[in-house]
Structure 1
Amino acid sequence: MNQVILATLSGLIVGGLFSWLGLPVPAPPTLAGVMGVVGIYLGFTIMNHWK
């Protein structure tokens, strides 16, 4: 759980920094894009457990 919190905090810092510098976001800019990445991760994890 500690890794999740640290990853979230670092993501918030990096996202804020990119916004402050006027750079494009280094991640999918929409919820649908983010959910696509989550789906890829979940599909990979499920298949590894299923094999």
Structure 2
Amino acid sequence: MKEVILALLTGFIVGIIFAGFRLPIPAPPAFAGVSGIIGIYLGFKVFGWISPIFLNWFK
């Protein structure tokens, strides 16, 4: 939980800095973009869970 809070705080600070310098936000501005990032993360995690199953087939 500590990592989540630190990541949220870091993102908040970076958002303030970018807004202060009037730079475009360094993240997807739409919900679809955020969903894509979540999908990439979930795909990475699922591969980590199922890859041992497939690796055992080829031994």
Same fold (TM over 0.5): yes
Shift of 1:5: 0.3
What amino acid is aligned across from residue 43 of structure 1 in structure 2?
G
Query: Is structure 2 residue 11 aligned with structure 1 residue 5?
Result: no
Shift of 1:50: 1.2
Q: Which moved more, 1:12-21 or 1:2-11?
A: 12-21
* Alpha-carbon RMSD: 0.8
Residue of structure 2 in register with 1:34 after alignment: 34
Residue of structure 2 in register with 1:20 after alignment: 20
Name structure 1 gaps, 5 residues minimum.
none
Q: Give TM-score, length-normalised by structure 1.
A: 0.89
What amino acid is aligned across from residue 47 of structure 2 in structure 1?
M
Residue of structure 2 in register with 1:48 after alignment: 48
| Segments ≥4 residues shifted beyond 2 Å | none
Shift of 1:34: 0.9
% identity of equivalent residues: 53
Q: C-alpha distance in 2, partners of 1:15/1:31?
A: 17
Kindly name which structure, 1 or 2, has the bigger radius of gyration based on alpha carbons: 2
